[in-house]
């Protein structure tokens, strides 16, 4: 592993809320059914003038303040998103322009809900060669623009938001203790978004999320659990060493099943899905931000991240948490 430290965090979620009661009016569902199946009560939706880049920029700016840095100090921006503003330029380049990070090299990564961990690992490798010193890692998603609002199996799940961290090269022991990933493209049809052209090459007007819910659920539980266990073995850690697990916020039943499989008490698994829904690549940095500001983190804590997403892609990371500046104090 390279040697990096997390020096700042930020997050942004839109103001508009879509509640389960709102969805009751448009599809055949109920608040009780959604809560029982997913644990989600509401999700956020971008305004017309918001996008993955504007939300990512807002989260990035808070992370910069937290790290006591200016945008011009950043020399690398990696944005994880599967809902970019457009095909190109990259969302990272758009964020660079908004925040004024003139010196930064910018690009996006897309491994869906596993994207933030992928971006973190890539940045770790780039900072390790010392060509880059300070990086913004951003997860930002506008999934409500991909949702089929007539499909009750998917429209209940997804929301919009962004989270960001600043990482810096460190000459001391690294905060990133290990990362591990897996992929299975043969099962990509379990969860995907169509268009702008379908696999039959017939143009479609809008992209839509399509999901095989039962099989996604089964794979998410299995892969999030197995990759976390494998990483613990490779890093010489045990589940007793984990202070807090911050999983991808996919579905509360998935979180509970992963916690059970890892023999983790629920009070050691962070859960903020109720009011935000599934924000894909943004969910782990948003949850990290929420955990920090709810005083769930202290210096020296060992954090376990684990995620699963379309691809299929999955991954896990172990973090040694250090103190960072609280810009709200």
Whether 327 maps to a domain, the answer reads no
Segment among 115-129, 289-303, 315-329 with least mean pLDDT:
315-329
219-271 pLDDT, tens digit per residue, is 999 999 999 999 999 999 999 999 999 999 999 999 999 999 999 998 999 99
- Same domain for 148 and 14: yes
Please spell the DSSP secondary structure of 304-321, one letter per residue: EEEEEETTTEEEEEEEE-
State the Cα–Cα distance between residues 145 and 150, nearest whole angstrom: 13
| Residue where a domain terminates, one of 148, 169, 190 | 169
- Same domain for 197 and 292: yes
Structural tokens at position 317: 């990371």
264-296 pLDDT, tens digit per residue, is 998 999 999 999 999 999 999 999 999 999 999
Residue 90, domain CATH: 3.40.47.10
State the Cα–Cα distance between residues 241 and 302, nearest whole angstrom: 7
- Same domain for 109 and 23: yes
- Same domain for 195 and 88: no
Length of the chain: 329
- Average pLDDT for the chain: 93
Annotated active-site residue 113? The verdict is yes
What pLDDT score does 204 carry?
46
Given a cut of 50, is residue 198 above it in pLDDT?
Answer: no
Q: Give the model's confidence band at 207: pLDDT under 50 very low, under 70 low, under 90 confident, else very high.
A: confident
pTM for the whole structure: 0.95
Whether 106 maps to a domain, the answer reads yes
Task: Point out the catalytic residue in the list 248, 251, 289, 313.
Answer: 248
Q: Give the model's confidence band at 206: pLDDT under 50 very low, under 70 low, under 90 confident, else very high.
A: low
Annotated active-site residue 278? The verdict is yes
State the Cα–Cα distance between residues 290 and 272, nearest whole angstrom: 8
Coil, strand, or helix at residue 30?
Answer: coil
Task: Point out the catalytic residue in the list 113, 114, 169, 289.
Answer: 113
Closest CA to 233 of 289, 180, 283: 180
Structural domain boundaries, residue 145 = 4-169
State the Cα–Cα distance between residues 305 and 246, nearest whole angstrom: 5
């Amino acid at each position: 592993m390279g040697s990096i430290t997390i020096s700042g965090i930020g997050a942004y979620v839109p103001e508009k809320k879509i509640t389960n009661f709102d969805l009751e009016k448009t599809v055949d569902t109920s608040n009780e059914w959604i809560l029982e199946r997913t644990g989600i009560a509401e999700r956020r939706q971008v305004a017309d003038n918001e996008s993955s880049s504007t939300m990512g920029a807002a989260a990035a700016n808070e992370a910069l303040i937290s790290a006591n840095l200016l945008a011009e100090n950043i020399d690398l921006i990696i944005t994880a998103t599967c809902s970019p503003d457009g095909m190109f330029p990259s969302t990272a380049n758009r964020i660079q322009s908004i925040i004024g990070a003139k010196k930064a090299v910018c690009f996006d990564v897309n491994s869906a809900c596993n994207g933030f961990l992928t971006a973190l690992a890539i940045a770790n490798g780039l900072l390790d060669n010392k060509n880059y010193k300070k990086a913004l890692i951003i997860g930002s998603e506008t999934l409500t623009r991909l949702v089929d609002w007539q499909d009750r199996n998917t429209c209940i799940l997804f929301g919009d938001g962004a989270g960001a961290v600043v990482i810096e090269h460190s000459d001391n022991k690294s905060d990133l203790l290990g990362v591990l990933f897996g992929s299975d493209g043969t099962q990509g049809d379990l969860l995907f978004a169509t268009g702008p052209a379908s696999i039959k090459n017939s143009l479609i007007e809008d992209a839509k999320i399509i999901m095989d819910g039962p099989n996604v659920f089964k794979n998410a539980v299995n892969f999030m659990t197995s990759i976390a266990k494998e990483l613990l073995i490779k890093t010489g850690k045990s589940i007793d060493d984990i202070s807090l697990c911050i999983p991808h916020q996919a579905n509360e039943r998935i979180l509970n099943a992963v916690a059970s499989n890892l023999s983790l008490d629920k009070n050691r698994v962070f859960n903020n899905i109720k009011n935000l829904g599934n924000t894909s690549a943004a969910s782990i940095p948003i949850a990290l931000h929420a955990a920090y500001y709810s005083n769930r983190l202290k210096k020296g804590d060992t954090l376990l991240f684990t995620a699963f997403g379309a691809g299929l892609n999955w991954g896990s990371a172990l973090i040694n948490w250090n103190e960072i500046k609280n810009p709200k104090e």
